[in-house]
Structure 1
Amino acid sequence: MKKGLLTGLLFSLILVLAACGGDDTASNDTSSDAGSDADVNIIATNFDFDKDEYVVTAGEEVTVALTNEAGHHGIAIEGLDVSIEGEGTATFTPTEPGEYKIYCSIMCGEGHGDMIATLVVQ
């Protein structure tokens, strides 16, 4: 009885740990390079964003799309009240020119603190 219970617990632990790993499936990237200048497509991997800097224009509506290619990440943009938990989009209109910090908002491992980029509003 104890051996069966121990085996069941071990199997459950393995399943939980496997679920915490990165997503190895192919991404369904619906973004296009032909999008407007107000589209910001951020691709997150362990532990990096695809660009260090994204540029938009003040006063124009911006749609930010987050795609996770490796791991589970979210983003927040300091000073702009923008947040995406996991994959998704957010739409906002930045009014003040400046530089705003983009960071991973979901604890994703040892390199979490390195997941920083900049949104430049011109």
Structure 2
Amino acid sequence: MDLQKEAPNVVTEAGFKMLVESGYSVEVVCKQDAYRKNSVWHGIWLLRAVDDDGVEKELVTARARPDGEFIQLRTFKTVTGLVSFLIDLGFSVVAFPVYEGQRWTYTLADTPDDDSDS
């Protein structure tokens, strides 16, 4: 299945990273209120790559599911997983929404330089 032909509003992890590097913003969407269990924050977050015109591409898994469904949104269920993914994309400062419906947007251009001495 060619995801670009079947579902133009989704992208796998490799494509997502390329979009971000080419100037797309990353939007983190909180789909379920975050809660703390022991020392770990849980919730459900989705990621979208958004261009300057507002065109969105949602991050999906690359693996086929046992029930035959190929396209499934990639969800992050812990803050640790979300932060790890965002850092791997190149973001050095990470914040995240904690209430259902909230969104937070990142762009690589907004990432501060690592060599600032102030």
TM-score range, shorter chain: under 0.3
* Normalised TM-score (structure 2): 0.25
Highest relative contact order (Cα 8 Å, sep 6+), 1 or 2?
Answer: 2
More helix by share: 2
Which structure has the larger Rg? 1
